[in-house]
Structure 1
Amino acid sequence: MDSPEAIANKGYESFAEHYVNEGIKKERERNDAANADRDSKMADFLRSIGVSEKNVETALAIK
């Protein structure tokens, strides 16, 4: 088994770290896609009720 110093300085991911990092990356991608979809729906709704484009951009920026 590697010592803590060797583990800290190894320069590569362990098998478990790789899969944990991949899971985090996939979850982040899913969240980003969901957020983009939500923002698109919000912008479409605001436009449908007559909100100006400038105000739509402002609303999306402060969400």
Structure 2
Amino acid sequence: MTDDYEEAEVARRRDAISHAKHSLALEGLTVSPNAAALLEDVAKGKLTFDEYRAKILAAEPSE
């Protein structure tokens, strides 16, 4: 991939994440700092969404 393409892809992912955070905020929900940091890794392509989801689920206390 070219640098321009990678930068555009990161920007697109960040926009999608920002939109998701805004949608949650409209419902009175927030994203924890840990989850936000992991989402940034998803935006940069360092982590897949499935890996992100697995980390979030692993961090949740079991019932």
Normalising by structure 1, report the TM-score.
Answer: 0.48
Q: Which has the higher contact order (CA 8 A, sep 6+)?
A: 2
Whichever of the two has the greater Rg, that structure is: 1
- Larger helix proportion, structure 1 or 2? 1
